[in-house]
Structures are given as C-alpha cells and as structure tokens.
C-alpha cells in the first residue's frame, strides 16, 4: 500500500485518496486521513500534515476520559479546527477504568481495545456487534463526525486511539457515501492488520489503554475483513446503505452531496 503516511509520531496513518468510486472517479488525495492517536506528533510531523498534506480539521473520536488522561496533543496548539465526538458514555467508562485510568475493578467497558472482556475478541462477530453499537448508541457522534468531514475546508484527519475501530467505522461510512466499492472499503479496514503489532506496542504502556491490553493476544485486536463485510451488509439491509442511515438521522440530499463532493469531487 502506498497510502501510508509515515511520520515519527504515529504508526497507523493513511490517506484515503486514490480509491475508485462507482461513478468512475477516484477519491481526492489529502481530503480524508485516518490515524491512530496524535499525541506523539513531532514538530516536523505537524508541519508536514499542515503544509504538505493540507490538513485543516482534526476529528477526535476519543472519550473525554482518554483526552484528560493523555493530555493535549501538539495539534491543539495550531489554528486547525478541532471536533471532539466521543463514541462512549464517559460516566460509565470512567466508573469501569477508575478515575486515574488504572483499570478500576478490571471489568469490561464499552471500548473493546481499551478494556478487558471475557468475550472472544478474535471473532469477527464480536467486532461487528461492537461497531454496530456505535451506530445504535452514539448516532449523534457518528453523524457529527461525518458532518465535520463534509464541512472541512481542506484535509480532515479522523482518529481515535488505535485508528482501527472507531476510526474505521466512520471512514467506512464516509467512503460508502462517496461511492467507493465495498471490496475497497473492506480492504482499507483490514489494512490496519499490517500495523497491529506496532499499534499495540505504542499503547501498551499508556493509560488508560495498558490495563485492557495486558494478557490479550494480537489476534484478538487484528481487523478481519469479515467484520467490515458484515457491517456494510447490515447497513444495506436495514437502512439502504450508509446514506440511508444518515437520512434516518436527519441528513438531506444536499448534505450527502456535500460529503460526496468533499471526498470525490
């Protein structure tokens, strides 16, 4: 894959430009970037994203608790537009991990990467249910993230902690609305598997992520194509696709066209 953006401070960042669409176009390079946590960007990384890539907007899908525990990242010191759209209910999340991020009682929270679970995370079905939970429980944040992409002046970076689950859900919906074929969306989702060891290594000693990663296998965290296939099939059968889901949550044709034009105009 040539779409990886290699920076010192991230391990799972890639440009979603250059993908084919059903309309015969390709997605615009630099319009949508997906990434893991941006806390460790160097000064050179920041300059590259702003000056070379053309990033204008940062869409942060992490919870308030994650942001508080990890502190402000370097991009918060820039004039970029910042959009915070948590996919988790923070009160419940904080109760489970403890106010200091140390793991609390050790019980599972809603974010499977971060916290423990007795359920088999190696199963594609687990992740399918998990991602559909975002759509059911936080549709305001999912739709809000897509709206921020549509309104961005330049490149939009969407990120969470690992850049595979919350970020993967949002970018899959965005690409689907833009007309990218299912097989391309699935392949992009699965591409994070190439970096999963580096992703986990990066988070393994950082709270609040460390408690949930101890004793877990890489296989449990590795994205599998079947997961995204099931998500797209569920969206199609229940809502008429990603665009249909957005219509059910208040989007009109003008807003959908704005997102399409931003990504593949």
Residue 80 lies in a domain: yes
pLDDT at 119: 54
220 vs 35, residue with greater confidence: 35
Residue 89: give its domain's CATH number: 3.90.190.10
Residue 144 lies in a domain: yes
| Average pLDDT of the chain to the nearest whole number | 89
For the chain, the first-to-last Cα distance in angstroms comes to 23
Average pLDDT on 66-83 reads 94
Q: Does 183 score more than 80 pLDDT? A: yes
Predicted TM-score (pTM) above 0.85: yes
- Least reliable range by pLDDT among 89-103, 132-146, 176-190, 195-209: 89-103
Residue 136 lies in a domain: yes
| Phi, psi of 26, rounded to the nearest 5 degrees | -130, 150
Res. 126 pLDDT band, cuts 50 70 90: confident
The model's pLDDT over 45-54, given as tens digits with 9 standing for 90+, comes to 999 999 999 9
Cα 247 from Cα 240, distance rounded (Å): 10
Residue 7 lies in a domain: no
Q: Does 103 score more than 90 pLDDT? A: no
Cα 36 from Cα 192, distance rounded (Å): 10
Beta 14-15 vs 32-35: how paired, if at all? antiparallel
Range of the structural domain that residue 159 is part of: 14-264
Q: Does 78 score more than 70 pLDDT? A: yes
Residue 26 lies in a domain: yes
Residue 4 lies in a domain: no
Residue 159 lies in a domain: yes
- Share of residues in the chain with pLDDT > 70 (%): 86
């904080």: which residue's tokens?
94
Number of domains in the chain: 1
Residue 1 lies in a domain: no
194 three-class SS: helix
| Phi, psi of 35, rounded to the nearest 5 degrees | -155, 160
The model's pLDDT over 235-247, given as tens digits with 9 standing for 90+, comes to 999 999 999 999 9
Torsion, Cα 174 179 181 187, to 10 degrees, reads -30
Res. 261 pLDDT band, cuts 50 70 90: very high
């Amino acid at each position: 894959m040539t779409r990886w953006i290699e920076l010192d401070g991230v391990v799972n960042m890639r440009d979603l430009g250059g993908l084919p669409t059903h309309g015969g176009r390709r997605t615009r390079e630099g319009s949508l970037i997906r990434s893991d946590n941006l806390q460790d960007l160097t000064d050179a990384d920041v300059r590259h994203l702003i000056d070379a890539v053309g990033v204008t907007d940062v869409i942060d899908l992490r919870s308030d608790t994650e942001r508080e525990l990890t502190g402000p990242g370097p991009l918060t010191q820039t004039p970029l537009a910042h959009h915070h759209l948590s996919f988790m209910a923070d009160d419940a999340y904080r109760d489970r991990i403890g106010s200091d991020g140390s793991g609390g009682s050790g019980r599972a929270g809603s974010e499977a990467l971060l916290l423990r679970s007795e359920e088999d995370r190696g199963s594609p079905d687990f992740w399918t249910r998990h991602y559909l939970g975002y759509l059911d429980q936080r549709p305001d944040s999912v739709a809000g993230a897509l709206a921020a992409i549509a309104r961005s002046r330049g490149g939009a970076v969407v990120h969470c902690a690992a850049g595979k689950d919350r970020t993967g859900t949002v970018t899959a919906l965005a690409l689907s609305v833009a007309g990218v074929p299912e097989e391309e969306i699935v392949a992009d989702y699965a591409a994070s598997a190439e970096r999963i060891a580096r992703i986990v290594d990066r988070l393994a000693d950082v709270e609040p992520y460390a408690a949930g990663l101890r004793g877990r296998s890489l296989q449990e965290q590795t994205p599998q194509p079947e997961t995204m296939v099931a998500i797209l099939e569920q969206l199609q059968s229940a809502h008429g696709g990603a665009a249909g889901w957005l219509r059910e949550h208040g989007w009109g044709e003008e807003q959908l066209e704005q997102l399409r034009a931003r990504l593949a105009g």
